[in-house]
Structure 1
Amino acid sequence: MTEDAYIHEIVPGVAGGPLLFLFHGTGGNEHQLMGFGRELLPSATLVSPRGDISEHGASRFFRRTGEGVYDMGDLARATQRMGGFVRQKIDAVKPSHVIGLGYSNGANILAATLFADPALFDAAVLMHPLIPFEPDIKGSLAGKAILITAGRRDPICPPDITARLEVHLRAADAGVVLAWHEGGHEMRQTELDAVTSFLASYRDAVPISDRTTQ
């Protein structure tokens, strides 16, 4: 897997500190979540790929045939490609922790990548994910911290599907937090506050280089 598997933006952080992957929603790009990522983890190296699929000019990470109807073959392709991209960045950066954060379509590719290789991420933030299929999780998620944020009136990600995802993740032994707001598919301040709180422990993560001197 080559470095240019995706058009992406990378912003270096503290050497040996956290590595934060950011995955945009449909119609976004590699810049969409960078400011939020820097606010969340000021010392982290940030990596944000742009989806390699165009849906009527809107960037996505995999194809779909309708709202909530996924092209499962293309999702498998995208999952394999993203896994290779993530592994390469981890090998290059050698971080203290690896965290993924995705919104909407970005949350879906993050979740699929996590299902395929649970060892890649220490923590994941899935903002308004839609997983309308039973996940095939390749191993245990024990020790993985996962935050799901969702709207109780989300017309794109129905609450019952969100609740079902929580059940699947808990069955794989993940440490799951589910944070609801009363709106729809939009991000709300209470949701952003929940993400900030969830990732607070990684703000002060000790870089690998510093651990050897303690």
Structure 2
Amino acid sequence: MVEETTKDGTLRRDLAFFYRLHRPENATGECLFLLHGSGVDETTLVPLGRQIAPRAVLVAVRGRIAQEDGFRWFTRITPTRFEQESIRAETDAFADFIAEATKRHRLDLSRSTFLGYSNGANLVSSVMLLHPGLVECAALLRPMPVLDDVPPADLTKARALIIAGSADLTYGPFAPALATLLRQHGAKVDARTVASGHDIGDPDAEAVRQWLADSAIAIAQAN
């Protein structure tokens, strides 16, 4: 097992999901869990994570389903249909991973944001709905709803940012349905659209960074 003093993002294999932990010298106590899109690996969202929160601990996690030269989070049937058993099994496993990783690395779950892109965003929303109370702050880039049956879930303590791409013709049309679904379960949802396709970049980083800053102000005022 890699020792806790490692800060260079060495691949760790000590939990159910492979992951890399990036802990900056001037870490503030914030944490970003990064869940990549299909066909790549855990390294791809690290630059975006650093752009959004340069002083946050980054936990970059690798999906366990092999796809071409990379990985994904659960099995796909078509581009917009997914194997339900796979979704639930991987969601349950990731919920356990969250608990184990936060304990092992002394992370503050109340100060953690789950940043997911595409298939990774869909895994995050599934955790929210199947394990309510575990993920209370989520930034979902280019997501869509994937669960055929959603159990009752109290998401009144959860807040989510959903960012769709205006030119994302395959997945963009599904984003409003996910926003509605999360709101129906009590989550506070900020749904936005950026001038982009399915790809992500600077506009997404700026939107997430501003949303997190505004959320922090709102929480401080409420307390």
Category of TM-score, reference length = shorter chain: 0.7 to 0.9
Post-superposition CA distance 1:129-185 (Å, at most 9, x none): 1214456255211132200000233132142x2111111111111111011024321
Q: Over aligned residue pairs, what C-alpha RMSD do you find?
A: 2.3
Tell me if structure 1 keeps the 8 A contact 2:32–2:113: yes
Partners of 1:36 and 1:182 in 2: CA distance: 17
How far is 1:117 from its partner? 1.4
1:103-142 aligned within 5 A = 103-134=117-148, 136=150, 138-142=152-156
Q: Indicate the SS of the match to 1:125.
A: strand
Choose between structure 1 and 2 for higher RCO, CA contacts under 8 A separated by at least 6 residues: 1
Tell me if structure 2 keeps the 8 A contact 1:18–1:202: no
| 2:19 is equivalent to residue 8 of structure 1 | yes
Which residue in 2 is equivalent to 1:48? 60
Partners of 1:172 and 1:114 in 2: CA distance: 10
Partners of 1:142 and 1:203 in 2: CA distance: 17
TM-score by length of 1: 0.84
Identical counterparts, % of pairs? 28
Which residue in 2 is equivalent to 1:200? 213
Partners of 1:5 and 1:91 in 2: CA distance: 14
How far is 1:36 from its partner? 1.6
What runs of 5+ residues in structure 1 fail to find an aligned partner? Answer: 205-214
How far is 1:45 from its partner? 1.6
| 2:162 is equivalent to residue 151 of structure 1 | no
| 2:31 is equivalent to residue 37 of structure 1 | no
| 2:113 is equivalent to residue 99 of structure 1 | yes
Letter in 2 for 1:148: I
Aligned residues, how many? 202
Q: Indicate the SS of the match to 1:38.
A: helix
Which residue in 1 is equivalent to 2:186? 173
Partners of 2:28 and 2:197 in 1: CA distance: 38
Question: CA distance change for structure 1 residues 120 and 132 in 2, over 3 Å: closer, same or farther?
Answer: closer
